[in-house]
Amino acid sequence: MTQQDTLILTASCNSRLGTVDAVTGYLREQRCYVADMQTFDDARAGHFFIRAEFRKPDSGEFDEAAFRDGFAPRADEFGMQWELTERSRKPNVVIMVSKFDHCLNDLLYRYRTGQLAIEIPAIISNHPDLQRLADWHHIPYYHLPVTAETKAEQEAKIWQIVQESQADLVVLARYMQVLSPQLCNQLAGWAINIHHSLLPGFKGAQPYHQAYAKGVKLVGATAHYINNELDEGPIITQGIQTVDHSHYPEDLVAKGRDVECITLAKAIQYHIEKRVFMYQGKTVVLGS
């Protein structure tokens, strides 16, 4: 089986008898073999989620339009919101970054080696520092400096680049600027941010130095969709590493960077593999 032969069907609806059969029964009728499937029924919310990867029929031409037309009335019967995606399709991902390069470096490595099946049509930064890294990967780099006075104009350029790049996803790989409510609303549900997660929460400058002073025992990171609440959007993935008294602030920073890279990459992977459902302000991640 190749990715070219595989599609992903995702759907969600109110919890009702027959929801699984509505999907798997139709796939069987179309002679499509289900290679992987996850479901979740939220008993409290009364809502059902399903993700199915399936192979096209071994013989004959697969007509995607006819497949969609045939499934639509079954989905309508259950009030399903659904999506059909080619497994091999590489989404366009625009990356935004400031000066810290660890997450960008990690994503570019995974992109270059094929671990992340994406295209990167643009890298946007408010600093010029990472231009050479983008040039080495032959990716257009847009340096858009920003001040309080130029923020609206700068974000308008960001939005223009995102649109012209036909971006499917925007990733804030340590972009150290607070986005305006307007841009947050425009990117809601398809922009992922990464930030450190320390308990207790240390805000402001040098959070790892603050954590060291309190004898922190865990460092972590959170990847989430952005919204108008700073660093409080729907969470996709989180990661942690244990530390102890022997870790100095510089050690905590290094550990934190490692966790940020892994956590962000996982979140992007789950998003492009259509594993993430947004519902009632939080996420359901199937097959994570």
Residues forming the active site:
231
Residues paired with residue 125 on neighbouring β-strands, in sequence order: 97, 143
CA dist 114 to 44, 67, 89, 180, Å? Answer: 39, 30, 13, 33
- Give the closest residue to 155 by CA, choosing from 164, 165, 146: 146
Residue 90 structure tokens: 């590489």
- Which residues make Cβ contacts (< 8 Å) with residue 125, sequence separation at least 6? 96, 97, 98, 141, 142, 143, 144, 175
74 vs 69: CA distance, rounded Å: 10
Asked if 266 and 237 count as a contact pair (C-beta separation under 8 A), the reply is yes
How far apart CA 274 and CA 284 sit, in angstroms, is: 11
CB 263 within 8 A of CB 222: yes
- Which residue, among 86, 90, 77, 21, has the nearest Cα to 50 in the 3D structure? 21
- The terminus-to-terminus CA distance of the chain in angstroms comes to 22
Helices (H) and strands (E) in the chain, counts: 8, 13
The angle subtended at Cα 3 by Cα 38 and Cα 162, nearest 5°, is: 90
Q: Does residue 173 contact residue 103 with C-beta atoms inside 8 Å?
A: yes
Chain centroid to CA 205:
27
